[in-house]
Structure 1
Amino acid sequence: MCGNNMSAQLPAIVPAARKATAAIFFFFDLNERLHGWVETLSYIRTPHIKYICPHAQIRPVTINMNMAMPSWFDITCLSPEAEEDATGIKLAAETIKSLIDQEVKNGIPSHRIILGGFSQGGALALYTALTTQQKLGGVVALSCWLPLRNTFPQVAANSANKDIHVLQCHGEADPLVPLLFGSLTHEKLKSIINPANVSFKTYPDMMHSSCLKEMMDVKQFIEKQLPPID
């Protein structure tokens, strides 16, 4: 696979029911197993879109007592002031950009590709979209935050996605990635891309997980940003 921080495992794919004219990359949280989210994506899928779920490399994660687990980058602690793994975040983003390039070579233009993810995966989706020269179709950012937020808007000034549409979703009862992280991210996003294109939806009683209402909101966003073209 492309990049040094990918595992040798091939991505899990939910294929389009007919000819794929759009794609979604969906990135999981650290130490997550693919099965649950692949099943969820299958439930909300649209016939002309294929869903690609790459595997993160197994690495020690500081916040989890240095245990080795699938992770896109290291996390030291969950705090707005925490020191971040800048090298790991940037390397993961470059890996995703390479995967997008591969999909473009396969015939799906980048503006017909959405990046999405949950928690650490959502953080990676946001960072990648705001630092790439690939014009993308949107971002779905679930229960997450914007990594390396202090380097924006300087980095984003060179991005091809200043007008990208972003759907942010967050549980109001999230004990792991507090709603405050989502709120701060929303305010930051509105300062660096077109604020009219950033939607932030919250869900009462939802913890660090998902719910049917959130998935229906995600489905509606995807269908609006990636309509059928044939």
Structure 2
Amino acid sequence: MDETGIKQAAEPVKALIEQEVKNGFPSNRIILGGFSQGGAFSLHTALTTQQKLPGITALSFWFLLQASFSQGPISGVNRDIPILQCHGVLDPLVPLMFGSLTVERLKALVSPANVTFKTYSC
């Protein structure tokens, strides 16, 4: 996995959030979301940004660079961020197992009550 590339790819999104905050748009009104790789980057960005965000919603994604996070709860501003994770049971590109492993890891990093995992059979 290209750790440097992943971290660099998150920087423009963090910069966009910072710019919106400077323009007067409160960070607590910016929700990150995405599908597949976009969901993976949204999660990574939200867990590493210095801006307090109100939530993440993502579909069929996985946890990028999870080994770089502590084993216990994260200490960042988004340690209590609500996360809605949805995954297709028959997803041919991102197996359901990846989503299941991601949700279990997330529950160890953020408030478990704030992590919602929904599966869909279509």
The TM tier, using the shorter chain, reads over 0.9
| Aligned-residue offset at 1:106 | 2.2
**CA distance in 1: counterparts of 2:75 and 2:50, whole angstroms:** 8
1:6-21 correspondence to structure 2 within 5 Å: none
What's the counterpart of residue 85 of structure 1? 2
What amino acid is the match of 2:76? S
Structure 1 unmatched runs, 5+:
1-83, 207-230
What's the counterpart of residue 140 of structure 1? 57
What amino acid is the match of 1:121? G
8 Å CA contact retained: 2:39, 2:61: yes
What amino acid is the match of 2:27? S
**Count of aligned pairs:** 122
Q: Deviations over 1:32-81 (max 9, x none)?
A: xxxxxxxxxxxxxxxxxxxxxxxxxxxxxxxxxxxxxxxxxxxxxxxxxx
1:93-112 correspondence to structure 2 within 5 Å: 93-112=10-29
Query: What is the percentage of aligned positions where both structures have the same residue?
Result: 65
Q: RMSD of the TM alignment (CA)? A: 1.5
Which is helix-richer, 1 or 2? Answer: 2
8 Å CA contact retained: 1:165, 1:198: yes
**CA distance in 1: counterparts of 2:35 and 2:70, whole angstroms:** 23
Structure 2 unmatched runs, 5+:
none
What's the counterpart of residue 30 of structure 2? 113
| Aligned-residue offset at 1:111 | 1.0
**CA distance in 2: counterparts of 1:143 and 1:157, whole angstroms:** 23
For normalisation by structure 2, the TM-score amounts to: 0.94
Highest CA radius of gyration, 1 or 2?
Answer: 1
Out of 106, 110, 120, the position equivalent to 1:189 is 106
What's the counterpart of residue 49 of structure 1? none
What amino acid is the match of 2:114? N
1:178 aligns with 2:95: yes
**CA distance in 2: counterparts of 1:158 and 1:200, whole angstroms:** 23
